[in-house]
Amino acid sequence: MLLIARSELLQIVRNRAVLITSLVMPVAASAFFIYNRDVFSRIGSLGYIAAVLVFTIAAFTLYSTTVTTLAARRQSLFLKRLRSTAASDATILTGLVLPVSVIAVVQVGVILVVFAAVGSAPADGVLAAAAVVATFAMMLALGIATAGVTNSPEHAQVTALPLSLGVIAVASWVGITGTESLTLLKRLLPGGAATELVVSSWNGGAELAATLPLLAVTLAWVVAAIALASRMVRWEPRR
């Protein structure tokens, strides 16, 4: 697994397009939100900004790069060759997505620490961490699933865009308007409950009884995404 991960990390470093998409753009967008935090906090709250930061990294660094990576490795028959080795399917997939997952975790950790330093720290750090982990697990599994319907790395720019923009739109909608209205719809949308968790953990005031249903919905999305990924993963080029 570690050998596969090392090889994949080298591929990411050598690919300028992936570096720009997975590193420069999400960090630039996050810097924009942090720099203009006073403006955005009046629109929503500091918790809203934190949620947008989390989903920006999850959508572009983690999800989009996972789709591009797996589509490229399948097109080059690298996945097919790996399956002829002694490595299990789980080991192969873990090795391929491990580098981008680590990059995304480091990114979101640094960005949230900076945001906490210049803005305010989360009222409940444990809840914030749980929301980030669940969000990343969901987006990673959805990335593997989306790669199954992606013909090539070029095609990934099309297949990954709707969900990338969709989860950020949901995060913005929930973060700005709250869940006082259309509560069930907002919480059931992908990322809706996770957004509410991040907002609550940052702004404070959330009770355990209120957060448990949100955690349950978020974990349900994680389970659904993993099940979808297991059904849609493809090892050979699509015809």
21-42: b (≥16 Cβ within 10 Å) or e: bbbeebbebbeebbeebeebee
The pTM of this model reads 0.91
Band (83; pLDDT cuts 50, 70, 90): confident
The pair of structure tokens assigned to 37 is 């935090």
Closest of 99, 29, 51 to residue 199, by C-alpha: 51
- Answer yes or no: are the C-beta atoms of 37 and 119 closer than 8 Å: yes
Taking alpha carbons only, the member of 95, 66, 53 closest to residue 229 is 66
Q: Where are the domains of the chain?
A: 2-232
Give the pLDDT confidence of 147-192 residue by residue, as tens digits: 988 888 888 888 999 999 999 999 999 999 988 889 899 999 999 9
**What number is the average pLDDT over the span 211-231?**
89
Whether the CA torsion 225, 228, 230, 234 is positive or negative: it is negative
Residue 238 confidence (pLDDT): 63
Taking 70 as the threshold, does the pLDDT of residue 100 lie above it?
A: yes
Spatial neighbors of 155 by CB under 8 A, at least 6 apart, are: 71
What per-residue confidence (pLDDT) applies to 49? 93
Q: H-helix or E-strand containing 217?
A: helix 208-232
Alpha helices in 77-118 (DSSP H): 78-83, 89-118
Write down the pLDDT at residue 163.
Answer: 93
Angle between helices 89-118 and 25-35 (to 10 degrees): 20
